[in-house]
Structure 1
Amino acid sequence: MEHIQKNSYVAINWNNIEDELDKATWEKLTQQFWLDTRVPISNDLRNWRDTSAEEKKVLNLVFGGLTTLDTLQSQDGMAELKKDAVNQKEEAVLNNIQFMESVHAKSYSSIFETLNDKAEIEAVFEWADNDEYLQYKAQRINDIYHNGTPLQKKVASVFLETFLFYSGFYTPLYFVGHNKMLNVAEIIKLIIRDESVHGTYIGYKFQIGFNQLSEDEQSELQSWMYDLLFELYENEEKFTHELYDEIGWTDSVMTFLRYNANKALMNLGQEPMFPDGAEDVNPVVMNGISTSTANHDFFSGVGNGYLIGEVEAMADDDYDIGLDKQ
Structure 2
Amino acid sequence: MSEALLERAKTLEPRHPNKSTALFGGKSSGILNWNDIAYPHWYKLYKRLVGNYWQADEVNMSADVKQFPTLTKEEQDAYLKIIGLLSTLDGPQTRTALLLSLYATDPAVQSIMAVISQQEAVHNESYSYVLSSVVSLDEQNESFQLGRRDPVLLKRNEHLIQQYNRFVEEPTMENILKTLVYTSLLEGMFFYSGFAFFYNLARNNKMVGTSTMISYINRDELEHGRFISELFRAALAERPEYNTTELTGWVYEQFRLSVDLEIEWSSYVLKEIEGIDLEEMKGYIKYRANKMLRMMGLSEIYPDYVDNPMKWIRAYVDNFDDTKTDFFEQKSRQYTKTSDLNGFDDL
Q: TM-score range by the shorter chain?
A: 0.7 to 0.9
Q: Mark the runs of 5 or more structure 2 residues left unpaired by the alignment.
A: 1-8, 17-27, 168-173, 331-347
Pick the aligned partner of 1:160 from 165, 181, 186. 186
Match of 1:56 in 2: 76
| Deviates most, 52-61 or 236-245 | 236-245
Alpha-carbon separation, structure 1, partners of 2:195 and 2:294: 20
Deviation at 1:64, TM superposition (A): 0.8
Match of 2:120 in 1: 101
Deviation at 1:125, TM superposition (A): 2.1
Q: Secondary structure at the match of 1:276?
A: coil
Match of 1:127 in 2: 146
Pick the aligned partner of 1:82 from 96, 101, 106. 101
Match of 1:276 in 2: 305
Match of 1:256 in 2: 284
Alpha-carbon separation, structure 2, partners of 1:318 and 1:227: 25
Pick the aligned partner of 2:93 from 69, 73, 88. 73
Deviation at 1:9, TM superposition (A): 7.4
8 Å Cα contact 1:78/1:94 also seen in 2: yes
Pick the aligned partner of 1:291 from 294, 318, 324. 318
Alpha-carbon separation, structure 1, partners of 2:129 and 2:94: 17
Deviation at 1:232, TM superposition (A): 1.6
Deviation at 1:86, TM superposition (A): 3.6
| Deviates most, 250-259 or 7-16 | 7-16
Q: What RMSD in Å do the two structures reach over aligned CA positions? A: 2.6
Match of 1:24 in 2: 44
**Alpha-carbon distance change, 207 to 177 in structure 1, aligned in 2, over 3 angstroms:** same
Deviation at 1:212, TM superposition (A): 4.3
Q: Secondary structure at the match of 1:247?
A: coil
One-letter amino acid of the structure 2 residue matched with residue 68 of structure 1 = T
**Alpha-carbon distance change, 178 to 54 in structure 1, aligned in 2, over 3 angstroms:** same
**Alpha-carbon distance change, 316 to 232 in structure 1, aligned in 2, over 3 angstroms:** closer
| Deviates most, 50-59 or 143-152 | 143-152
Determine if the alignment matches structure 1 residue 315 to structure 2 residue 322.
Answer: yes
Q: Secondary structure at the match of 1:104?
A: helix
8 Å Cα contact 1:210/1:218 also seen in 2: no
| Deviates most, 46-55 or 26-35 | 46-55
Identity across aligned pairs (percent)?
Answer: 22
Match of 1:227 in 2: 253
8 Å Cα contact 1:74/1:102 also seen in 2: yes
8 Å Cα contact 1:80/1:145 also seen in 2: no
Deviation at 1:10, TM superposition (A): 4.3
**Alpha-carbon distance change, 140 to 279 in structure 1, aligned in 2, over 3 angstroms:** closer
**Alpha-carbon distance change, 188 to 268 in structure 1, aligned in 2, over 3 angstroms:** same
Alpha-carbon separation, structure 2, partners of 1:204 and 1:243: 32
Alpha-carbon separation, structure 1, partners of 2:327 and 2:295: 12
| Deviates most, 66-75 or 79-88 | 79-88
Cα deviation code 1:30-86 (max 9, x no counterpart): 1111111111112322332322111111111111100100012112x2133213424
Match of 1:141 in 2: 160
Matched positions, count: 300
One-letter amino acid of the structure 2 residue matched with residue 233 of structure 1 = V
Pick the aligned partner of 1:34 from 42, 54, 64. 54
Alpha-carbon separation, structure 1, partners of 2:63 and 2:153: 30
Cα deviation code 1:231-253 (max 9, x no counterpart): 22222222122212233633232
Match of 2:24 in 1: none
Alpha-carbon separation, structure 2, partners of 1:32 and 1:60: 26
Alpha-carbon separation, structure 2, partners of 1:202 and 1:319: 15
Alpha-carbon separation, structure 2, partners of 1:13 and 1:261: 35
Deviation at 1:137, TM superposition (A): 3.8
Match of 2:129 in 1: 110
Q: Mark the runs of 5 or more structure 1 residues left unpaired by the alignment.
A: 293-312
Deviation at 1:321, TM superposition (A): 2.4
**Alpha-carbon distance change, 4 to 136 in structure 1, aligned in 2, over 3 angstroms:** farther
8 Å Cα contact 2:230/2:327 also seen in 1: no
Deviation at 1:263, TM superposition (A): 1.6
Q: Secondary structure at the match of 2:328?
A: coil
Structure 1 or 2: more helix by fraction: 1
